[in-house]
A = this chain, B = another copy of it.
Amino acid sequence: MIIVVSSKSKDEELKGLFDYIESHNVQIKSTIGKTHTILGLVGDTVKIDMDAINTFPIVESVKRVQEPYKLVNRKFHELDTIVDVGGYKIGGGHFQVIAGPCSVESHDQILEIARGVKASNVGILRGGAFKPRSSPYAFQGLEGTGLELLSEAKAITGMPLVSEVMSADDIPLFADVDLIQVGARNMQNFRLLKELGKIKKPILLKRGLANTIEEWLMSAEYIMAGGNENVILCERGIRTFETATRNTLDVSAIPVIKKMSHLPIVVDPSHSAGMSHLVEPLSLAAIAAGADGLIIEVHNNPQKALCDGAQSLTIPQFKVINEKIEKLVAFMKTI
């Protein structure tokens, strides 16, 4: 940690700050300049609160030198983490497409979609049972029944499942789900993160609409600190001033995450764009930038979808795009 103080600071002011710092068993090395003095702190500074330092009036700025996350940090874990989702590996060179409807609507619907995407060689099925909707008057998902319909589809097709959890209370209902999704709006629902840290099941952690990459990694750290090492990150677009797309896919997040962390990262082109015609170019861009997977919305009848129809592909549209995805994934290994 580095602290910059004014060179005009009086001795007693400095003493107060030094006492505070040294009470944390940390050494101080000063570099005195003309206008500023730089204090370099040597030792374990994790427990020193930057905010507390900032309250000393002589302090002009404080800067952490070490990242605030450890378990997700590539510096302490060089090899890529590979997460196994019902037999399908993600990360460390393993790429998967996850596909399915925004929300599960009926036995026939989820089965038709599952079979449709499986015919395109897709291993993992997604489907929403608990739906976070900005309006209390919108369809909120089939909830427990939705999870049962997913289980039936799994029993019939053998496909592992991805579904979103909205509350720690519901975790027991997810016994048959292979990858539990934390939605963007819950990225900083710390209570939920803590509970997910106590189970061993893989977690798909979506980035919040306006969260920095560091905050996202800190949320992954919450899960890992609880003991669950099976975390997959999911970039799904951030909120900006642009209105031509629902969100702005932050494609740079892929290589940035790869450098900072060992965790796999997948991309959700459907929510990023909000429009089905953008799913193909954004999927291909994500692969070219190094993503470990994609999660794509597919519906058997988008015009009758109970949510987010505008961003869903039909099964035949998905088939065409998925062939390009497979080709590009294979090609990227050759360059």
Interface residues of chain A, those whose CB is within 8 Å of chain B, are 2, 4, 16, 20, 29, 31-36, 38, 40-43, 46-47, 49, 51-52, 54-56, 60-61, 63, 65-66, 68-69, 132-138, 140, 166-169, 185-186, 188-191, 194, 208-210, 212-215, 218-219, 221-222, 225-226, 238-245, 248-256, 259-260, 272-273, 275-278, 281-282, 284-290, 302-312, 323-324, 327-328, 331-332, 334-335
Whether the pair A38, B51 counts as a contact (CB closer than 8 A) is: no
Pair A241/B210 contact, Cβ less than 8 Å: yes
A-B contact pairs, 15 of them (CB 8 A): A52-B310, A55-B312, A68-B135, A69-B135, A135-B218, A167-B168, A238-B242, A243-B243, A244-B252, A244-B260, A249-B252, A251-B282, A281-B288, A284-B332, A285-B285
Copies in the complex: 4
- Inside 8 A of A221's CB, which chain B residues have their CB? 135-136
Closest to A324 in B: B335
- Cβ B137 vs Cβ A46 within 8 A: yes
Contacts of A278 in B (CB 8 A): 252, 255-256
Q: Given A282-B251, A324-B335, is A222 in contact with B136 using a C-beta cutoff of 8 Å?
A: yes
Given contacts A54-B309, A55-B305, A189-B186, contact A255 B241 (CB under 8 A): no
Q: Determine the residue in chain B with the shortest Cβ distance to A59.
A: B310
Assembled-state Cα–Cα distance A20/B225 (Å): 42
CA–CA, A189 to B186, complex, Å? 7
**With known contacts A278-B255, A282-B252, A240–B243 Cβ distance under 8 A:** no
